[in-house]
Amino acid sequence: MNTPVVTEASRRRTFAVIAHPDAGKSTLTEALALHAHVITEAGATHGKAGRKATVSDWMDMEKDRGISIASSALQFEYAPEGHEGEPYMINLVDTPGHADFSEDTYRVLTAVDAAVMLIDAAKGLEPQTLKLFRVCKARGLPIITVINKWDRMGREPLELVDEIVSEIGLQPTPLFWPVGEAGDFRGLARVNDDGEAEEYIHFIRTAGGSTIAPEEHYSPDEALAKEDGAWETAAEEAELLAADGALHDQELFEQCETSPLIFASAMLNFGVHQILDTLCTLAPAPRERHSAPAAVAASTSAMDEVREVGDDFAGVVFKVQAGMDRNHRDTLAFMRVVSGEFHRGMQVTHAQSGRSFSTKYALTVFGRTRATVEAAYPGDIVGLVNAGALAPGDTIYSGRKVQFPPMPQFAPEHFRTLRAKSLGKYKQFRKALEQLDSEGVVQILRNDARGDANPVMAAVGPMQFEVMQARMEVEYNVETVAEPVPYTVARRTDAESAPELGRQRGVEIFTRTDGELIALFGDKWKLAFIEREHPEFTLETLVAD
């Protein structure tokens, strides 16, 4: 066991921010960076009083629409007040909020150790929040719950707690309870292990919320004198929840049964450093990861079933992204370090192909800003430049062989053909198609009848098509035309079923880039009819376990 690596891993905190669209994820991401003193002034989503776009939203479409449509990795150091020793290394991944990009978010959740679930104070739990929570629960990811936008009119805090308990079976355990109702956010009551409000943290507004909000700290008696009924209400509500058993238990938190609860306003920078402090003190450090069972069984050589953080280097790729640097036209493979020490230039093996390659160009990424990384440890996110053979879900390693489970893949529900407007741009079209396909922006389906110049795009949501076309135009100077096709359902099939299946009316067979045979059906009723009439056909959903 490599003790220095274990020590470095122990100070890593790697987490994702998840929420429904417009809950304030990107604003919170930048507020966290502000409180870590990585930036000196926070921006906000585009269009709010002319303030600049958030540092994590680097794509033009994100800036134009004020939403996140691609995951973005930020890394910075942070030391809570009173912390002794080395500061924590924070690896924060801001995920897409729009449901059309759920697949990208799901991939991110395979690369983190915890999640911050952001909930709008006025809207409460929303469909995308519920969906993402279930993924965290299935993966055993501990969740810290943040009720955001408490500076605006919203619901009662106890009502929001009840909704979380009843809708998703997660028990919030208040650590910082609001003083003042929604829309009158005065500060936070720090709640101790017994559920008592032991300190009042009063926030002072700054101009536009662009800088860190100063804090004033008061004892309970001083808080009662200063805030009167607002403090008394906060203290009573905290005690009421404690009497109902809503107390923090680290073991239950790590089992995703309970969730530390914090109220905040990311826009005003209220409650932000409390979120960071909670992540540092309660969120788990990187841990061991299990190999894919199928890979273990198929291997003819000795393979570790579990990779401990102090073992030889291993990492998993969770995202591939091009177009982040227009000057260099390169591709970044985002890798989560799982075990061991990574150092730039080291020779590693690609588990899926068995090929060896050198990691000559490795970067840490802060939004669109890059810096060369010389060394990284478990929990860190590293961008490998122009590692063209890597795809989401791939494993790279040194020493004893390991291969981690593949990334989940969603069943597409929307399909369109894609072609270049100009035949003279066919070469650029092919290059762009190959690159964006490798990133997983959409799934690309081909067959002989349509040819390479007119493939079918398959996506979870229609906005993915817009991203595909916009990036082809901006990054590759190729204008494209997308047209609908008469299909709504996709299933995986095999070489034995494909010939006869393809002769059925309302069915078309394609080959996906990874070699899988995909059958498209006009609608679910057509699929049901064929399944009933031809039970011998192989028809499987496209969602990976």
366 - beta bridge partners? 369
Q: Which residues contact 340 (CB under 8 A, 6 or more apart)?
A: 2, 5, 309, 310, 311, 312, 313, 314, 378, 398, 399
Checking 88-91 for CB contacts under 8 A at 24+ apart, the result is 88/11, 88/12, 88/13, 88/280, 89/8, 89/11, 89/12, 89/13, 89/377, 89/379, 89/380, 90/13, 90/32, 90/36, 90/276, 90/279, 91/12, 91/13, 91/14, 91/15, 91/379, 91/380, 91/381
| Cα–Cα distance, 266 to 27 (Å, whole number) | 6
Tokens of 234: 């906060």
Q: Which two tokens stand for residue 63?
A: 């800036």
In one-letter notation, the amino acid at residue 139 is: R
What is the Cα 338 distance to its own chain's centre? 17
Count CA atoms closer than 13 A to 222's CA, side-chain side: 10
Q: Could you please report the per-residue DSSP string of 121-165? A: TTTBS-HHHHHHHHHHHHHT--EEEEEE-TTSS---HHHHHHHHH
Tokens of 456: 């079918």
Residue ranges at the known binding site for GTP: 94-98
Provide the annotated binding site. 94-98
Phi-psi region of 544 (alpha: psi -120 to 50; beta: other; left: phi over 0): beta
Spatial separation of the C-alpha atoms in residues 79 and 20, rounded to whole Å: 29
| Alpha carbons 36 and 142: distance in angstroms, whole number | 22
User: Which residue reads 């000196």 in tokens?
Assistant: 40
Q: How far is CA 355 from CA 178, 295, 319, 358, 405, in A?
A: 55, 16, 20, 10, 19
